[in-house]
Amino acid sequence: MKYSPRYRLFPDEAQREAMDWQRDTVRQLYNHALREFNQIPEDTGTLRQRVWMVRDTIPALKDWWTDLNKVYSTVLQKAVERIRDNINNLGKLKEHGYDVGSLNWKSPREFRSFTYRQSGFELDKKSGPDGRGLLTLKKLKGETRKIPVRLHRDLPAHDAIKEVTVKKDATGAWYASFTIDTNAPTKPEPEDIDAEDTVGLDLGVLNFIHDSDGRSVDRLDLSCDRKRLEREQRSLSRKQEGSNNWENQRRRVAEIHQRMSNKKRDFKHKLAHFYTTEYDAVFVEDLNVKVMLESSQNARNKAEVGWRNFLTMLEHHGDKNGCHVVEVKARGTTKDCAECGVETAKPLWVREHSCPSCGFELDRDWNAALNIQQRGWTRLGVVHSEVTPAETATVLRTEGSDGPHENSVLVDAVDTLSVSASRVVETGSPCLKERAQASE
């Protein structure tokens, strides 16, 4: 599997100018190549062949465009090949129902990266203090530059670094992403998976996750960051666009956006890592997020939660940790009873599930997580008992009787382990490792 960890670069002023110059030169080449590509008839060849026709003109361009001689050859080639990648990405969006147009020229603000492929770079992990190294980039404005890099984590085992993408963030910070090929662990066969080593995840708005083992993970609280963002955006709107004050204020706004994005990304990665290392199979709802965001109810909260982004991270960690991640049909998971399967309609504000048929009572989200787990067993082919997976039911004594009623399986008390989102972000939440205990 391909893996691209990202690391922070700390260039000096001269190195910043050199990288900015190369980024802008590559941008101009991309725009020129896009113009040449659009003039080639579609019946001339496949998309790949037409892009290669443009790429093969780079040596001739260097005769009159002398700045290209100061940029490493693979960087120039990769810039032209981005046309093919961008067109393929537009095609994927079109397949999912998005109304897409054609590629446009890139302005300096829109084009932020350039890529070294196979050669032209070298990572020295031994230079400098612990956690630091040097990234050597050849022909960076005609010179070889050694840029300090913070190696906050080790690269996974790999044969060689395939690509290095250098990108300037909206805040002005520089990052390097190293693309490597790693051996993904083998996932266990479905028939060998124990039903106890699986979990169902119900994604919600009040709580970010409620799983079938009784854990409830709170949503990430970004209210303070959002208030500060509103203040800084108001200040930005009062400044003249393009002025020095406007640029400084724009960076402040970008820094807040980045901090909020980092918090959400860190939160989701830690949750995905926990579930894919703790279980052999994780079952989640196949949510149609696009339709949900187009509805008029609570759209901002739905967008901020980022369900689809979390599902993508969950699949990535599943491949990385050898865990099955299976999406199941979401329709009816909240209404169906996890004990007997009878459908019970209830409005959104009702947070408790109470089955009129068998008397089974449980938290609404917990009941949905159990239904997701059961559907996941069926879809993946996990061998399991037909008995409900809920181990939280306690029998009730009927009035005037000495023992439990033979048909009563009502839950009269359930303890749910609630995990704060801040603990997940700050410490990885050791509470996640504790399973909720059934009430007695």
- Count structural domains, the chain: 2
Indicate whether 303 and 217 sit together in one domain.
yes
Q: Who contacts 39 (Cβ-Cβ below 8 Å, separation ≥6)?
A: none
Residue 440 lies in a domain: no
Indicate whether 240 and 138 sit together in one domain.
no
Indicate whether 360 and 423 sit together in one domain.
yes
Q: Which domain holds residue 349?
A: 192-433
Among candidate residues 2, 317, 5, the one with its CA nearest the CA of residue 178: 5
Structure confidence at residue 438 (pLDDT): 40
Coil, helix or strand at residue 186: coil
Examine the fold and report which residue of 181, 204, 226 is the final residue of a domain before the chain moves on: 181
Examine the fold and report which residue of 154, 181, 208 is the final residue of a domain before the chain moves on: 181
Indicate whether 334 and 288 sit together in one domain.
yes
Structure confidence at residue 410 (pLDDT): 29
Indicate whether 197 and 164 sit together in one domain.
no
Indicate whether 208 and 163 sit together in one domain.
no
Indicate whether 261 and 211 sit together in one domain.
yes
Residue 438 lies in a domain: no
At how many degrees (to 10) do helices 13-38 and 73-95 cross? 60
Structure confidence at residue 353 (pLDDT): 78
Sign of CA dihedral 369, 372, 378, 379: negative
Structure confidence at residue 33 (pLDDT): 95
Indicate whether 13 and 57 sit together in one domain.
yes
Indicate whether 258 and 292 sit together in one domain.
yes
Give the number of other CB atoms < 10 A from CB of residue 83. 21
Residue 439 lies in a domain: no
Examine the fold and report which residue of 181, 209, 234 is the final residue of a domain before the chain moves on: 181
Global pTM value: 0.75
Among candidate residues 155, 223, 372, the one with its CA nearest the CA of residue 284: 372
Instruction: Report the chain (440 residues): mean pLDDT per 10 consecutive residues.
Output: 88 93 95 94 90 94 93 94 92 84 88 92 82 90 86 82 92 92 84 87 82 85 90 94 91 92 90 91 80 63 74 89 88 79 76 78 82 86 60 35 34 54 61 47
Indicate whether 149 and 257 sit together in one domain.
no
The token pair at 273 is 């890592």
Indicate whether 241 and 143 sit together in one domain.
no
Residue 120 lies in a domain: yes
Indicate whether 313 and 417 sit together in one domain.
yes
Structure confidence at residue 416 (pLDDT): 56
The token pair at 402 is 């000495």
The token pair at 224 is 């303070």
Structure confidence at residue 112 (pLDDT): 92
Structure confidence at residue 84 (pLDDT): 94
Distance in angstroms (rounded) separating the CA atoms of residues 36 and 54 = 7
